[in-house]
Structure 1
């Protein structure tokens, strides 16, 4: 069985995976993802001019989310989603699904534009779902999922596609704001927090992904049980939230970014709970201790389903932690650069709370430039660019960062400027809204546009949440974004030319050359 998938940065040959996914996705799963996508288009067609049910809204978000890279490898569970989508579609009139063969086989530029919108919507679905489980929903965002899905199955001119992409970018900004409100109203505004990478002896659980509600429920269910909790990957910023950091058994962060999990989880004496991506095919040495939840799935792995009112029973994870027992003695771990302590919690409130210092430092010349170096990490060679960029950035510059790309350099100690750390971790990819708000506030303070600030975005991308963030930045008119380590394979040469001409989108080269071009 063959397949075609080019939605992530590490796609085979920079063109597309056709035999098996570099991520570990098999052809049968890729086919199910395509069938689910086309069924969702059919559902959206059926809902046009009608009021879809709460169940339909949930299926749209969960269905798109499930097809994000490294989320769900379980063909059986994808089939269950397809069945539910088809049932909801029939209730609304049963419109025809989009043809799977037409997703990737039409005119190259049309496929490119359609794919860009589809992948962006998959990313936004992840944000929308995280907000939804915390009780936050926006009618305009939800409605746009249906509009966007219908648009995927229709013919448009190139200009109409670009207009849709920009409209989507603005809607995604609203969705990110919704998620920001959901997180901060539930857990408080993050505060700067030091996080150790050391692991204490005794039973522990590693929790990875992005879903803070799953972490909250796990913390509640492990209270007073002698089990410590360690975050991994994109869960690191959870340590900054007051309502999460108050739990004394939330101890620290285990390991680094997602692509190192097969090495870092090898024979680990603890269970690992995957709340979202990025799940890699588990090695035999730890496969028996992997648990999935929410839309995450992998054949043979134990899944923790939602119970009544969204409450999950994590007792199988807890029992596994007690059974494995953890390490016999305290363990000292470091990041990729040898550091053993990480700083996080510099979300928009924390940064804007010291905005006067930041502004004064820029005006006085103490800070010559601000870089936002962040995005997704990945396994492709060349991502050490971001480490070297931060190391070589002049000492009178500040590095804002977010998402798992920060693991390339977040254990570095590169000093402070005026009492502010030079590396300022703003959180998950889910927290891109914070960075946008900070940039907007700085522009307002200086009486200029964001593009006139001494600010440059140097982004790494891997999966579809990076795509929706990029489209939001472009919709906001932000120019001169440096993107790497490679440009998206789903952007045809003609579409890429338009984006480069319209937004000055730039592929990264070398840290030295790019720094020289930026700081003149």
Structure 2
């Protein structure tokens, strides 16, 4: 055993990866990630004290947020970058510590805040020591890891909002407090459960902040038809979630004679009015993240990874030379686009010039798909939806949001969507939609039976939609709505979405294709008892089990 990681749905044997991550990360990267988190706890310790003393440090906040983001599954695979980040974190930590001392503030400093760097070779050993198994009690360990993975997902959303200039001190303050809680040996399981629920409530704030950032900058998403074919010009394929990166690329390439396509979680960019001003914003190419090896190979032009969902390219993949990363994403050998300087755009000129030398994309499919049903758009057609409910044309909504993945068992979600009765409407967000968003499921009185709200962070829109329906129908609880939840998960952003739902008291969520490996038996039992969380079985069994309770 040279590493241990069980933060994602692909945890080996359903327990954890011990030699190499199923995601593709090496034991070296895994252990360096654990070292980085350990050092960030020290930064959080001093930054909290500095804030109370009136010493602000946006650099410390950004370091914590982006540092946590880099440890989310499928974001950063570069050990050299983690070494660099650890050095930066140590420097910021010591700068904060010095500022406090110079201000006459003396603290009782815990061991994790006093650790001094050794060599990167030693960090690998330290990282394993500081990983998930540092806590012996399985229930305490489970709750602390659940809290940690929740703030990792929260950090991703907070990072995207900050890029657009939107911040909320309540969020960073909680993230810092949660980091310190994972080192607090005095907290009881009940106190940790309370903090996990607070994590869900704060996660809702983070999603609300990002929604405000995106809609204030790019307009409210609107119902849009997205082309799935290709044009006869070279192109650039953009994947991930960062809309600001897409804006910069579109603006710089508008007169370059090339087209820009989205992949995976970038599909919902087509729903924002702002991006429709660019005629060379051509459409969506391909499917969810796990198909990128074959789809990136077929595309033929440069690929830009803006956030997570990167699959390590095979050694024989020709697109390795066409792969670019930016933001928190790194892969050894991939060309990295540096951060933008204040007041300027990121410089994508290398990427654009590269695209001009490439052939047009190879067409994978043709046709269109429709999306853009975020909460503002659903509110605009609320009367039509309510009328369909009252007349019995819509008898239930099925939330099938979340993540897609490469497990063959995920074909379940395609069959589940295909087998739903004709009076059921799917509410979705995140890349899980690629399992069914191209099926010919039809409409109900002009309302598509798949309402796509957008990216995984747009699960906030699904929450807003549920609350709107609750008020409109005069119900006292969201659990009285004709809504069932059949959610697929993969990584830590799905964790914070789940905790946000639980913090609102939502019950009877079915989570698949398997329950998280980091949940101990007792913690799993608590979630089942308090929130009636369940997993999935067969399509036929689940249709009977879930929909029987959802009738209007």
Q: TM-score range by the shorter chain?
A: over 0.9
Please state if 1:364 is matched with 2:391: yes
Q: Secondary structure at the match of 1:265?
A: helix
Deviation per residue, 1:154-204 (Å, 9 max, x gap): 021110010000011001101100000000000000111111111112210
Please state if 1:288 is matched with 2:321: yes
Partner of 1:88: 92
- How much does 1:469 deviate? 0.5
Q: Secondary structure at the match of 2:400?
A: strand
Please state if 1:394 is matched with 2:394: no
Please state if 1:115 is matched with 2:119: no
Matches within 5 A, 1:212-361: 212-283=243-314, 284-309=317-342, 311-327=345-361, 331-334=362-365, 340-361=367-388
Deviation per residue, 1:499-519 (Å, 9 max, x gap): 000000010111211111122
Partner of 2:443: 416
More displaced, 4-13 or 509-518? Answer: 509-518
Partner of 1:59: 63
Partner of 2:471: 444
From 55, 72, 78, the counterpart of 1:74: 78
From 172, 180, 200, the counterpart of 1:169: 200
Deviation per residue, 1:351-373 (Å, 9 max, x gap): 11111111111111111111111
Query: Retained in 2: the 8 A contact 1:128–1:175?
Result: yes
The separation in 1 between residues aligned to 2:132 and 2:374, in whole angstroms, is 39
The separation in 2 between residues aligned to 1:439 and 1:348, in whole angstroms, is 9
Please state if 1:512 is matched with 2:540: yes
- How much does 1:30 deviate? 0.4
Q: Secondary structure at the match of 1:324?
A: coil
- How much does 1:255 deviate? 0.5
- How much does 1:277 deviate? 0.9
The separation in 2 between residues aligned to 1:432 and 1:145, in whole angstroms, is 20
Query: Retained in 1: the 8 A contact 2:158–2:167?
Result: yes
Q: Secondary structure at the match of 1:41?
A: helix
From 207, 214, 220, the counterpart of 1:189: 220
The separation in 1 between residues aligned to 2:112 and 2:75, in whole angstroms, is 24
Query: Retained in 1: the 8 A contact 2:4–2:131?
Result: no
The separation in 1 between residues aligned to 2:298 and 2:439, in whole angstroms, is 28
The separation in 2 between residues aligned to 1:267 and 1:354, in whole angstroms, is 39
Partner of 2:401: 374
After TM superposition, the score normalised by the length of structure 1 is 0.97
Q: Secondary structure at the match of 1:286?
A: helix
The separation in 2 between residues aligned to 1:85 and 1:440, in whole angstroms, is 41
Query: Retained in 2: the 8 A contact 1:340–1:411?
Result: no
Q: CA RMSD in A?
A: 1.3
Please state if 1:146 is matched with 2:176: yes
More displaced, 93-102 or 266-275? Answer: 93-102
Partner of 2:112: 97
Query: Retained in 2: the 8 A contact 1:210–1:275?
Result: yes
- How much does 1:145 deviate? 1.3
The separation in 1 between residues aligned to 2:170 and 2:466, in whole angstroms, is 25
The separation in 1 between residues aligned to 2:509 and 2:16, in whole angstroms, is 24
Query: Retained in 2: the 8 A contact 1:371–1:458?
Result: yes
Deviation per residue, 1:305-324 (Å, 9 max, x gap): 11311621001111111111
Query: Retained in 1: the 8 A contact 2:35–2:130?
Result: no
- How much does 1:102 deviate? 4.5
From 154, 158, 162, the counterpart of 2:189: 158
Deviation per residue, 1:231-276 (Å, 9 max, x gap): 0000000001000122111111011000001111125310000000
Please state if 1:488 is matched with 2:503: no
Query: Retained in 1: the 8 A contact 2:72–2:491?
Result: yes
From 496, 499, 507, the counterpart of 1:468: 496
- How much does 1:332 deviate? 4.0
After TM superposition, the score normalised by the length of structure 2 is 0.91
User: Please, which runs of 5 or more residues in structure 2 have no aligned partner?
Assistant: 99-108, 114-125
Matches within 5 A, 1:121-136: 121-136=151-166
Q: Secondary structure at the match of 2:34?
A: helix
The separation in 2 between residues aligned to 1:209 and 1:108, in whole angstroms, is 34
More displaced, 214-223 or 510-519? Answer: 510-519
Deviation per residue, 1:23-82 (Å, 9 max, x gap): 110010001100001001111122232224010000010000000000000011111111
Structure 1 runs (4+) greater than 4 angstroms displaced:
none
Matches within 5 A, 1:14-29: 14-29=14-29
Query: Retained in 2: the 8 A contact 1:15–1:489?
Result: yes
Partner of 1:503: 531
The separation in 1 between residues aligned to 2:340 and 2:267, in whole angstroms, is 26
